[in-house]
Structure 1
C-alpha cells in the first residue's frame, strides 16, 4: 500500500491506520470481506481506520471515470449499509473529494474538495477523526432503520394473531434466509432443492407449501439450530397458520424478502423499505444487536427484571480488540461469554481470532480453520433459548462471510452449536419460555468442566438490581463470590463479603475469575455505579474486587450516559479489563474517562486518548474510597487535597448542611429526558434562586 499510504499521509492519515484492500497479505482484510468479493477489483481501493473502525473509504477517480456520477451515488449508499459513521473519499491528482456515506444519497450533492496546494489538506483526516462533518451527513441511521423495519414486521405478525414466540421465530428465519440470498450463498440454481412450490427465492416465504419446504431445508442444512416453531410438522403448521389468520400472515415475511413494503404508520419516502437494504453489506453484528433489542421490546416486563440490553457492536469490537491485543494465547485463545445473548461478543471474537490466525500464518484462514475456531474456541452461556438460537444464526453467518469460498451450499453443513458451543444454563426446573432472573451461569448446576478453562472471559452481564422476591438468587450470588474469594486465599473477603444492593453484574466478575485460566484475561461491560459507591457495602465490594483481581484498565463511561455511544442506556457504564490473578502491592491500572464530545458521540464514537489515561495504584483504590471519583472529577493533584480533608473530619457537606438551622438543600428541577409528556408545564413561571 506504499503509494496509497503516501498519498493519504498528505491528507493527515497515519500509515498504520491505512488498509489497502488489494494487499492480500493484510489480515485486516477480514474486516472488509463484503468489499473484496472480487479480489482483483474491490469495491473501494482502501480504508482509513480510527480505533479499528472504518473512518474513510478511499477510491481512485480512474475506477469511477467510466461509470460517472451514478457510481459515486451507489458507492455512498452501499458503504452506508455497513453501518459505520464513515465517509467516502475520491482521489484525484492533487485533490481529495469528500462525500458522506448515505442510505438515501441526494444525486445533486456536490463533494467538498481539498487540494494538496492548500495547507488545510493535512487536516482532513484529523478533522474527520475529531467528528467534524466535512460534508453534509445523511439523516438516516442504519441501526434505527433496521430496528424500525424489524419492529414493524414483528408487530404486524402479532396484530394478525401470532404469539411472541412465533413472531420471533418467523421473522428470524426470514431474515436468516434473506442473508443467505443477499450474501449470494444461495442462488436461483438452489431453488429446486429448497422449495419446488416457489417460483423464485423471494417467493420462498409466500405460501404454506413454500414456507414448509423452505423451513425444512433450513433445518436440514443448519442442524436444527434455528428458531423453533410451535409444530415440527411444518406442512400442517403452515396450513393451519394461514387457515387461522389468512394469507395476510405471509405479508410481513414477503416484505422481509423484499417482495413488498412493510406496513407502518407514518411511513414515508424518507424511510427505508426492506427492498432498500443490501444484505451483502449489512453487518451481522448489527443484526444480532437489533434483534436482541426487538426480542426484549416484545417482553418489557422481562426486560426490566432481567436488565438485558443489547451491547452496541462497536463497543463489543473495541473490547475484543483490547482484550486479545498481544494475548499470549494468540489465535488459539479459548473464549467464554457468560451471558452471550444474541452473540454480539461471540461474533466479534470469532472475527478477531480469524484475523489473528491470518496474522500468525500469513494466509487467509481456510474453511477448516474457521470451523475449528467456531467449534473449539468459542463458548457462550445463556438462559434464554431464543437468544442462543439468534447467536447460532449470527455465528453461522459469520462463518459463511469469512469463508474464502462459501460454495457450494451443500458442503457448508455445520456441527450443531446448541449444547456444544452455546450452553443452556437456565436453572433446573425453570420454565424454558419464561424470561426471569435466575442463578444461570453462576448456579451450581453449571458443569465443572468450564472452571479455569478459558483464556478470555468477555461479555456484558445483566445490570439491574434484583427485586426482593429474588432474594434467594442474591444469597446464592454472595455465596459464590465468597467461595471464589476463598479459592484465591482471600479469607477475610470469603468470610464477610456481601453482594451490594442485589446487583447481578459484580457476581459475574467473580465468576469470571473462576472460569478464566490463571493468568487469563477478563473484559466485562458493567454498570458504572460500583466505581463510586460510598455506602459501607458498596465500598467493601469495590475494595474486595481490587484486592482479588489484577485490574489492568477501566474505561469509565459516566460522561457518555444518555448518548449515542450506548443508545437507550441511561445509567453510567464502565468497561473493565483485568488479568486473572491476585494483584501485588505494586500493581497499577489505567483509568480513562472519556468526555462527551457531541460531534463524536452523535456518531456513536468516543475519544480514548492515551494522554488522558491515568495510572492508578490498585492498593490506593482499595484503601481510599473516594479515589476513583476524585480522579474522574478532578486530577491526580486533587487526591492529596481530598485525603487531607478526610483526615480532618469524616463529616460531609451534606451532613453539615442538614444539621445547621436555617440551611436548606435540594436539587431543584432538572432537565429530564423526553420520555414523558411535559406539556402541562407550558406557560408556567420559572422559579429562580435569588
Structure 2
C-alpha cells in the first residue's frame, strides 16, 4: 500500500495526464530532449526523486517521495541543486496520504501539508495549477525573478568586478573581467570532476578552492599554466596584468572568496547555498559572461540573452530538421557563444539518441569540428565561446577522456586576427577555409553608429553591393550578409531589432531583403521587451527564413507566405516558457509585408478588419497630407547642443519659450504658466529651427507619452519656441479652432488607439511618439465629412472646451477626455460602432497593461477571466460580423449564438460559443445540445491537449472549432484579451474561412 500511494497521489493531481511531460526515474530520458542532461542529473540526484514534470518542454516540478512532516532543512541539498540549475520552480514532497510544496529559492518556508482528500486536478499543486496562475497566486514570493540563480550571479559578478577595480585605472576593468572568467570556468571544471585527482597528482596541483583560501599565488599561477596546456588555449593562462593572480591583494582575495560562497557582495548578507557548478548550465555561464565582454553601460542586463530565448532560437533553427547533427551551424557574431553552445548540445543529444548511447570524446570532437562554426571581432568573446564548447564536449562523458581537446580558435571559432569579421573579404566562408552554413543562427549587433563615427566595415561591404542601410543599423547589413552566405536550401534564424520590420525608415531595407529570402516565421516579442531584457530600449523579433530561389519569382508558383507570431506577456515566463494562443498566430503573404510594413505593428494588437477601417480613414487624409496640401509646417524645435555647433538664439529671444519638462502630464489644454521668457542660460544654441514652427495656430507634442501610452498634445496660439524634444504641427488651415480640435483628437482614446496600430515607437519601443509617426495618423477637414456642417459644429464645440480648459486655474489631471468630447471626436471621424467599442476596450484594458516590467505585473486584467457580460458582447459581435460577411458573399439565412462556460473554475476551463445557421433568417429559441462537444473537450483534456502543445520553441494553447451539422462550436481559454471585441472580428474571419475550406473539401 505504501509503495503505491505516491503514484496514486501523483495521478490524482493530474501529473500523469500528459505522459510525455512526466519523466519518471525508472524510464530512460530521450537524449534529444532540449534538457536531457539536466533531467538525467535530477533523476539521479537521490533515490527519493520520483520524477520531473515539464511544462511545454521546460522542467517545472520535481516530485519527491518523502514525509511532508520532516523538518525545514530536510530537502535543502536537493533545493540547492534545483536552484543552481535554474529550471525547476517547485519541489513537491509526496507522502503516503499528503503532499507538501517547497519553494526553490533559499530562506523561504514550505507550504502547508495538504491531506490527500483535499487534492484533485483543480488544486494549486496539481499539474493544472502549475500550468496556470494558481500556484503563483498562492505563493507569489516563490517566483521572485531576482532570486533566480542567473539574476543573483549577474548581480554578484557586477559587484565583484567593481570591487576588484576600485581605485585602479580604467584598463583594470578588462583584467577584472578576465580574472572572473577564470574563476567561473575553473570552478566549473572542478565541480564537474573534469580536473581529476590523477591529473592534479601528476602535475603537483591542489584544488582551486584550497589555493584560493591559502592565498597560494604561485600555486594558482601553476594551476592555470597547466590548464592552458590541457585545454589547448590561452583563455585560462596566467597573465601579467594589473589583476593577475600574483598581484592580488588580501582584500581582492576576500572578494573572490565571498563571491564563490554566493554571499551578497552588495549587501553583505551571507548565503545558505554556494554556487554549485555541477548544475549551473553551460549556456548560463557563457550568456552571463557576455555581459562583461563589451564596455559596461547602465543597463548591463540588456546584453544578456535569456536562456529560454536562446533555446527558442535553436528550436526554430532546427524546426522540422530530423537530423540536427547533420547540419552545419554558423554564428557570425557569436559573442560568448550561448547560441552555438545550445545548438551543439541539441545536435549532440540527437546524435546520441540515434546511436542509443553517449558518445565518447573522439566522436563528440568530430561532430563539433565538422558542424559548429562562429566568429566575432572580439577576441575575448571567441575564447569564451571556445571554452564553453569544450565544456560541452566534456559534459557527462561515458568514460574519462584519453585524447586532447581539439583546437577551435582559428579552425572553428574565428576572431579578428583570423578574419572573423563577418563582413571581411577574407572571411573563412568566403576563402573556403570553413564550409557554408546550412543553418545560420545569430543575435547580431544592433548598433547604430553616431554620424561622427567613420565608415564601418559593414558599410563598405554594403556600398559595394549597392545596399541601403537605414540609420546605419548594422543588424540590417548582417541580415543581407547571412542571406548571401547560407547554403541554398539552408535556413537562417536571427534575433533582430523589431524596428527593422516596423519602422518606416527601414521600408527600403525590408523590400530589398525580402527579395533575397523567403520568410517562414516572424516572432515579434515587443510586449515582452522589459521581461526578456530588463532596461532594454528596443524589442526583438526572431526571424526565420530561407534563401530565395529562382522558383520563388515564378508567376505560376503559390505566393510565398509566412507565419506571423505575436506573443503577449504571459505567466508561462514563471517557468521559463514562452506561451502563445491561437489568436497570436496568423499566416500572411510575404508580399503583404513588402507592400505594407504597418501590418507588423497593426496586427500585433489589432484585427484585419480594424486595419482595413483605419486604412480607409488614412486614405481620406493624414496629418502629414493636410499640412502638405495647405502649406503648413511640421518638425522638431531647435537643438540646444549638437557637437561643437554654437550660434546666437537670435529672434528666439523675443518670444516666449515652452520648456517640455514644464508641460502638464496630459493635454490638450496648455496652461499660461508654461509660456516663459527665453532662458538666460541659453546664450548659445546649436540651431534655431524653422521659424514657422513657433508661430501661428499649431499643436505641440512632446516625445514622451503618458505611462498608459497616451499622446500628450497641446494647442498653442501664441508665438513661442520649443526644443527638438517636441514636435510642432502647423496645419495651415482652420485657425485656432482646428488646432485645438487636433490637439484634443491626439489626446483622445481614439488617438491613443491609432498610435497603438500605427506608431512603432509608441508601443513597440519606449513609450514615446516620433514626429514622422504623428504625420501618418489619420486626419480630415470638416469638408470631408458626410455632413460638413455637423463636422464644423463638432470642431467648434471641442475647441470651446479646450479654450475653457486653458483658462482654468485648477485642473484635475486625467488621461481621459470628458465622455462627450470623446464621442464627438469619434463622430467627426465617422468610425463604426464596433470600432468605437474596440477603442474603449483598448483604452481601459490594453494600453495600461502593455509591456509589463515585472512578472508580478503580468497578472493584469488582460490575463484574467472575462465576465459574462464580456462573453455575451463577444458573441453578439461575432454574430454581427458573420452577418456582414454573409451579406457581402450573397449568402442566405441568419445566425444565432449561445454562450456558456465549460468547466468553470477549473484550471483549463473554456469559454464556448455555439453558432447555429437558421434558414431564411428565422430565429429559434431552442437550446443547442453540447453533449458531444463536452465529451470531445473532456477527451482532449485527458490527453493533455487543452494544456498546450509545443509549436517549435513556443507553447501553443489552441482554440477548438467543431462543426456539427448547421452548428459551429467555438471554444478557447478563459483569458480576457481573447474575448475582446477585436478578437471577435478575427474569429469571425476564422470561422468564415473554415466554412469555405470545408465546402471546398466536400
1:623 corresponds, among 595, 614, 634, to 595
TM-score, normalised to structure 2, is 0.57
1:546 corresponds, among 511, 514, 526, to 514
In the alignment, is residue 368 of structure 1 matched against residue 340 of structure 2?
no
* Map of 2:333 onto structure 1: 339
CA contact (8 A) 2:22 2:52 kept: yes
Return the alpha-carbon distance in structure 2 between the equivalents of residues 452 and 580 of structure 1: 17
In the alignment, is residue 60 of structure 1 matched against residue 65 of structure 2?
yes
CA 1:117/1:109 → structure 2, altered by over 3 Å: closer, same or farther? Answer: closer
What is the number of residues matched between the two proteins? Answer: 628
* Map of 1:26 onto structure 2: 30
* Map of 2:769 onto structure 1: none
1:389 corresponds, among 383, 401, 410, to 383
Q: Deviations over 1:159-212 (max 9, x none)?
A: 26482232122221122111122113335554334545x4x5422342221112
Return the alpha-carbon distance in structure 2 between the equivalents of residues 113 and 364 of structure 1: 42
* Map of 2:188 onto structure 1: 179
1:384-463 to 2 correspondence within 5 Å? 384-405=378-399, 407=400, 411=402, 413-425=404-416, 440-447=421-428, 448=430, 449=432, 453-463=436-446
* Map of 1:380 onto structure 2: 374
CA contact (8 A) 1:226 1:392 kept: no
SS of equivalent to 2:569: coil
SS of equivalent to 1:396: helix
Return the alpha-carbon distance in structure 1 between the equivalents of residues 245 and 511 of structure 2: 57
CA 1:38/1:647 → structure 2, altered by over 3 Å: closer, same or farther? Answer: closer
CA contact (8 A) 1:286 1:313 kept: yes
1:666 corresponds, among 698, 701, 704, to 701
Using the TM superposition, name which of 599-608 and 440-449 deviates more: 599-608
Return the alpha-carbon distance in structure 2 between the equivalents of residues 4 and 441 of structure 1: 57
CA 1:93/1:237 → structure 2, altered by over 3 Å: closer, same or farther? Answer: closer
* Map of 1:475 onto structure 2: 459
CA contact (8 A) 2:314 2:339 kept: yes
Please identify the structure whose Cα radius of gyration is greater.
Answer: 2
Question: What's the CA shift for 1:605?
Answer: 4.3
CA 1:37/1:81 → structure 2, altered by over 3 Å: closer, same or farther? Answer: closer
* Map of 2:90 onto structure 1: 87
Question: What's the CA shift for 1:67?
Answer: 8.1
Point out where structure 2 has 5 or more consecutive residues left out of the alignment. 1-6, 635-695, 710-765, 767-809, 818-1002
Question: What's the CA shift for 1:457?
Answer: 0.4
SS of equivalent to 1:561: helix
Return the alpha-carbon distance in structure 2 between the equivalents of residues 30 and 641 of structure 1: 44
In the alignment, is residue 355 of structure 1 matched against residue 353 of structure 2?
no
CA contact (8 A) 1:547 1:618 kept: no
Return the alpha-carbon distance in structure 2 between the equivalents of residues 570 and 421 of structure 1: 33
* Map of 2:655 onto structure 1: none
Question: What's the CA shift for 1:653?
Answer: 8.5
Return the alpha-carbon distance in structure 1 between the equivalents of residues 150 and 63 of structure 2: 23
* Map of 1:156 onto structure 2: 163
Q: Deviations over 1:555-589 (max 9, x none)?
A: 101111122x2333231211101122244551111
Using the TM superposition, name which of 117-126 and 3-12 deviates more: 3-12
Question: What's the CA shift for 1:514?
Answer: 2.2
Question: What's the CA shift for 1:6?
Answer: 8.5
Return the alpha-carbon distance in structure 1 between the equivalents of residues 315 and 381 of structure 2: 24
* Map of 1:202 onto structure 2: 209
Question: What's the CA shift for 1:380?
Answer: 1.1
Return the alpha-carbon distance in structure 1 between the equivalents of residues 238 and 302 of structure 2: 23
CA 1:187/1:328 → structure 2, altered by over 3 Å: closer, same or farther? Answer: closer
CA 1:35/1:577 → structure 2, altered by over 3 Å: closer, same or farther? Answer: closer
Question: What's the CA shift for 1:417?
Answer: 1.4
CA contact (8 A) 1:532 1:629 kept: yes
CA contact (8 A) 1:380 1:421 kept: yes
Q: Deviations over 1:436-466 (max 9, x none)?
A: xxx9212223131278711110010011212
1:241-260 to 2 correspondence within 5 Å? 241=247, 246-256=249-259, 258=261
* Map of 1:322 onto structure 2: 316
Point out where structure 1 has 5 or more consecutive residues left out of the alignment. 429-438, 483-494, 676-683
CA contact (8 A) 2:286 2:388 kept: yes
Aligned CA RMSD, in angstroms, stands at: 3.8
Question: What's the CA shift for 1:400?
Answer: 1.8
CA 1:329/1:415 → structure 2, altered by over 3 Å: closer, same or farther? Answer: same
In the alignment, is residue 167 of structure 1 matched against residue 176 of structure 2?
yes
TM-score, normalised to structure 1, is 0.80
Q: Deviations over 1:575-620 (max 9, x none)?
A: 10112224455111111111123x4446654323344211010011
CA contact (8 A) 2:29 2:36 kept: no
CA 1:105/1:276 → structure 2, altered by over 3 Å: closer, same or farther? Answer: farther
2:149 corresponds, among 137, 142, 150, to 142
CA contact (8 A) 2:523 2:566 kept: yes
CA contact (8 A) 1:426 1:440 kept: no
Question: What's the CA shift for 1:223?
Answer: 1.0
Question: What's the CA shift for 1:415?
Answer: 1.1
* Map of 2:122 onto structure 1: 120
SS of equivalent to 1:471: coil
In the alignment, is residue 641 of structure 1 matched against residue 676 of structure 2?
no
* Map of 1:282 onto structure 2: 280
* Map of 2:787 onto structure 1: none
SS of equivalent to 1:311: coil
1:285-296 to 2 correspondence within 5 Å? 285-296=283-294
Q: Deviations over 1:14-67 (max 9, x none)?
A: 333333344235215672535535986656332222332222222334xx7998
* Map of 1:559 onto structure 2: 527
CA 1:650/1:417 → structure 2, altered by over 3 Å: closer, same or farther? Answer: same
Question: What's the CA shift for 1:157?
Answer: 2.2
Return the alpha-carbon distance in structure 1 between the equivalents of residues 88 and 44 of structure 2: 26
Return the alpha-carbon distance in structure 2 between the equivalents of residues 590 and 509 of structure 1: 19
Return the alpha-carbon distance in structure 2 between the equivalents of residues 416 and 151 of structure 1: 31
* Map of 2:680 onto structure 1: none
CA contact (8 A) 1:308 1:462 kept: no
Return the alpha-carbon distance in structure 2 between the equivalents of residues 111 and 514 of structure 1: 61
Q: Deviations over 1:452-482 (max 9, x none)?
A: 71111001001121222133445325236x3
1:192 corresponds, among 191, 201, 206, to 201
Question: What's the CA shift for 1:662?
Answer: 4.9
In the alignment, is residue 525 of structure 1 matched against residue 561 of structure 2?
no
1:73 corresponds, among 54, 73, 76, to 76
Question: What's the CA shift for 1:520?
Answer: 0.6
Using the TM superposition, name which of 127-136 and 321-330 deviates more: 127-136
